[in-house]
Structure formats: C-alpha cells, structure tokens
Amino acid sequence: MASAKFTSLLVCFLASFACFIQSAGHYVHASFLMSALGLDAPASHVQRAVIRGGNFWALGLRALYFATALLMWVFGPVAMLACSVLTVAVLHLLDTSSMPLHHHQFVDRTSVAGGARAASAPNPGLHSAVAVFSPAPYLR
C-alpha cells in the first residue's frame, strides 16, 4: 500500500511539472509570435498559444492541489480528508468575488474622421483601430 501511495504521489508531481513546462513553452511561443520582427502572425495563433498556456497552467495547479492531498494520505485518511476540506475552503474563498467585472468601452477611431464613437464590440482588425478603455462610467 505504501508503494501505491508514493507512486501516485510521484505521478501527480510529474504531471504537474509537465503541465508547467508546457505552459511555459506556450507562453514563450506566444511571446515570440508577438515580438518577431517582420512576422505577420495572425492574432488567432497568438490567442491560441496564450489560451493553451493558461489551460496547462491551470492543470498544473490542479495537479499540485491534488498532490497535496495525496501527500497527506501518507499520514492517514483523516489528514487527507482535512487537507481536502481545507483546500476546497481556501479555493472557494479565493475564487469568489463580490466585485463586478470591468465594463470596457471600445472606441473605434478610424471610422469617424475628427471624432471617436463607441463601438458595441471590439474591432477585429487590431491594426486598423485602437481599443481604449474608458474609465468615465466609474468616475461619476
């Protein structure tokens, strides 16, 4: 039984490490795509790399949380249960928020000559328009 505990703990830590390495690789790839001179990479490629990096980062964190519970399993089932309940409580406190998300207002400066108008959605052509956050609704 002890070998099963240690083997599962090792597998979980290795999975977490692999996910963090993949996350770093995707973030480096996205950084390369954004900063390469003369490379006209579509925004969808950068977006895909950043999203995949975030997904691998989240998987790595979940594997670490699970590994913490498995580490407590070495000391007994009561310690594992207590660690699991504590982890769920802490993650619930960290993941809930009573503050609303920001309300962004995008301004398309290329469509109206001499003035700016608010657009209902972000402009898909990032090179032709400037998206600006307007803090005006929050200053009232």
pLDDT in tens, 73-109: 889 999 999 999 999 999 888 888 767 667 666 666 6
Angstrom distance (rounded) from CA 99 to CA 101: 7
Q: Is residue 61 within 8 Å of 22, Cβ to Cβ?
A: no
Q: Is residue 27 part of a domain?
A: yes
Q: Is residue 65 within 8 Å of 15, Cβ to Cβ?
A: no
Q: Which residue has tokens 């990096």?
A: 53
Angstrom distance (rounded) from CA 25 to CA 13: 18
Backbone angles phi, psi at 76, to 5 degrees: 135, 165
Which structural domain range is residue 82 located in?
7-98
In this model, does residue 129 exceed pLDDT 50?
A: no
Q: Is residue 1 part of a domain?
A: no
* Bridge partners for 117 per DSSP: 108
For the chain, percent of residues with pLDDT exceeding 70? 68
Q: Is residue 108 part of a domain?
A: no
State the pLDDT at residue 131.
47
Q: Is pTM, for the whole model, over 0.75?
A: no
The one-letter code for the residue type at 99 is: M
Q: Is residue 116 part of a domain?
A: no
Q: Is residue 109 part of a domain?
A: no
Q: How many domains does the chain have?
A: 1
Q: Is residue 77 part of a domain?
A: yes
